[in-house]
Chain A
Amino acid sequence: MSFFALLSVLLAFTACDENQEEFNINDKGSITLEFDNIVGGQDLQLDKGAYTNASGEQFSINLFQYYISNIKLKTEDGREYIVPQDESYFLVREHEASSHEITLNNVPAGNYTEVSFVIGVDSLRNTMDPSKRTGVLDIGDEATGKGMYWSWNSGYIFVRIEGTSPQSPQVENGQNIFFYHVGGFGGYSAPTINNIRNKTLTFGKDAAEVRKDKAPSVHILVDAMKIFDGGNTISIAANPFSHFTTFSAKIADNYVSMFTYDHVHND
């Protein structure tokens, strides 16, 4: 055995020693991404919670939901796992606790240190045949796709937040309301706003250890306050509502910073 061969065997053993445990990369396991919606430092409580944004405006939220799609995971050694496209669309709805947890199955074993995803729905899926728009993308489903689709200007709403604020000049049914419906995939035959945003979260020194018999859970905080002050200061008094407008790009730029990695459970 040559010196170099001996050295590499030694190195290999050293590397193995550093791993928490051995695993076969052909094993498959699952991983859960948990989206925990908050506002500032507080838990998001629909209707009840009262919050104040950077413009000093009080507000409550009564609807908050957003699409997460095209999820990719990356291991510490750079292996990438891309969730199969047709299975990679999720709608996180604050009022539906089960939607806060996205469980991905058939994930190759590994120590994952990064997740990336699209906030919204990619442009290609926005142009697909109705048979390719099932599950949370079904525009004929009351609970999911229906409220997240513009029928007059065909395309999905990516992020939808609605609430009340005494500072809002918009009054409906005796309430001062605000709403932001943000979508826009770039246009079909002519260019227009593109509010598709990508997000990558790294897990710091942590790793989510996916094993055949171990399903880690990655906890992600989603701070709705960032919609108002995530870089662009958005005032409810000045902009009580937004749907398909050029202004919506500011909201989209803001909501990229809603998402932060918090911790991982490897039990």
Chain B
Amino acid sequence: MSKMMIHTFILLLLVFACQPNEDVINSGDIVAFKAPSNFPQPAYDLSKNPITKEGFELGRALFYDGILSRDGTISCGFCHQQQSAFTQHAHTLSHGIDDKITMRNALPIQNLAWQKEFFWDGGVFHLDFFAVEPIQNENEMDESLPNVLEKLRNHKTYPKLFEAAFGTPDITTDRFLKALSQFQLMCISSDSKYDKYIRKEGVILTSEELSGMEIFQQKCASCHNGELFTDFSYRNNGLTIGNPNDTGRERITLNENDKFKFKVPSLRNVELTRPYMHDGRILTL
């Protein structure tokens, strides 16, 4: 019964986002990135990459373009599908180029402005540098960043899109990475039934939902805490060892105590992000 209640509660965290509110944005304007009132301060320094409508649109175009991969077949959106809360549905380990299997299950793209470290092992500590890894990983897009930039420079529309976003048509590493960040930063999940309840926006929870929340807060929130439903730590939750070569956080810290620890993921949109765990071994919620 309590499992059901937690499930009921978790469903409250469902919401789709990633559309900037069109009516507040004009061309060239800095997009109003608003931290939801129930959220902490973002970890990403938006002053270093002010989001504009053109920058967001460029980032979205890049996100969904296979030009980022060696043979043009794999875009970011291939593994991060919006209808699955930007994860890859129906695969335990995510599939990449030539149908190769990656080492892990793709994490959702949501609330990345609040994320301090990226990937299941936290190997990248800034959103701007995140995309370099999937582009260059031989099982994902198997392309090189310099080659992507060169293809974009020779493309008939991208120089114009970069000019619209950044003032000149120059395509640099900095601009490319920041455009991708602009799109991803705007993928915000903050309007679930739960959020509206917490922000007292006139939503009432049923007694079953309230019980689920209470049990969740007692039993789950020591790791999945706060409004982002993660304490951003790396933990070994007791799963049996799957791939012995994937030692998780230990690959990054070389600390024996971090062996087989993985990031505590957020539980937002969790109904949609199945399968679960770093290797997707659990198929249903």
Q: Which of B24-32, B126-134, B212-220, B274-282 lies at the interface?
A: B126-134
Mask, B143-161, CB within 8 Å of A = 1, is 0111111000000000000
Mask, A119-157, CB within 8 Å of B = 1, is 000000001011101100011111000100101111000
Alpha-carbon separation in the docked complex, A193 to B145 (Å): 26
Residue of B nearest to A188 (CB): B125
Q: How large is the interface on B (under 10, 10 to 19, 20 to 34, 35 or more residues)?
A: 20 to 34
A175 adjacent to chain B (CB < 8 Å): no
A103 adjacent to chain B (CB < 8 Å): no
B91 adjacent to chain A (CB < 8 Å): no
A127 lies within 8 A of B178 (CB):
no
Q: Which of B51-59, B115-123, B188-196, B202-210 lies at the interface?
A: B115-123
Q: A151-B132, A191-B253, A245-B254 are in contact. Are A142 and B126 (CB under 8 A)?
A: no
Alpha-carbon separation in the docked complex, A138 to B144 (Å): 13
Alpha-carbon separation in the docked complex, A191 to B257 (Å): 12
Alpha-carbon separation in the docked complex, A245 to B129 (Å): 22
CB of A143, distance to nearest CB on chain B (Å) = 8
Alpha-carbon separation in the docked complex, A152 to B125 (Å): 10
Name, among A141, A190, A191, A192, the residue most crowded by chain B CB atoms within 10 Å (CB to CB).
Answer: A190
B116 lies within 8 A of A189 (CB):
yes
A153 lies within 8 A of B174 (CB):
no
Alpha-carbon separation in the docked complex, A129 to B117 (Å): 15
Kindly list chain A residues whose C-beta atoms are within 8 Å of the C-beta of B132: 139, 149, 151
Number of residues on chain A facing chain B (CB within 8 A): 27
Alpha-carbon separation in the docked complex, A244 to B247 (Å): 14
Main secondary structure on B side of the interface with A: helix
B34 adjacent to chain A (CB < 8 Å): no
Q: A130-B173, A193-B254 are in contact. Are A139 and B145 (CB under 8 A)?
A: yes
CB of B28, distance to nearest CB on chain A (Å) = 20
Alpha-carbon separation in the docked complex, A142 to B252 (Å): 25
B267 adjacent to chain A (CB < 8 Å): no
Alpha-carbon separation in the docked complex, A249 to B252 (Å): 15
Kindly list chain A residues whose C-beta atoms are within 8 Å of the C-beta of B258: 190
Kindly list chain A residues whose C-beta atoms are within 8 Å of the C-beta of B144: 142, 146
Could you say which of A138, A151, A246 contacts B129, with CB atoms under 8 Å apart? A151
A127 lies within 8 A of B126 (CB):
yes
Alpha-carbon separation in the docked complex, A100 to B71 (Å): 36
B137 lies within 8 A of A140 (CB):
no
Residue of A nearest to B125 (CB): A188
A169 adjacent to chain B (CB < 8 Å): no
Alpha-carbon separation in the docked complex, A37 to B123 (Å): 33
B residues near A (Cβ < 8 Å) are 48, 116-117, 119, 122-126, 128-129, 132-133, 135-137, 144-149, 172-174, 176-178, 251-255, 258
Show 28 residue pairs from A and B whose CB-CB distance is below 8 angstroms, ordered by the A residue: A127-B125, A129-B126, A129-B174, A130-B177, A131-B48, A133-B174, A139-B145, A140-B145, A140-B146, A140-B176, A141-B173, A142-B146, A142-B147, A146-B145, A151-B133, A152-B123, A152-B124, A152-B133, A153-B124, A154-B123, A154-B124, A154-B126, A189-B117, A190-B252, A190-B258, A191-B255, A192-B254, A245-B254
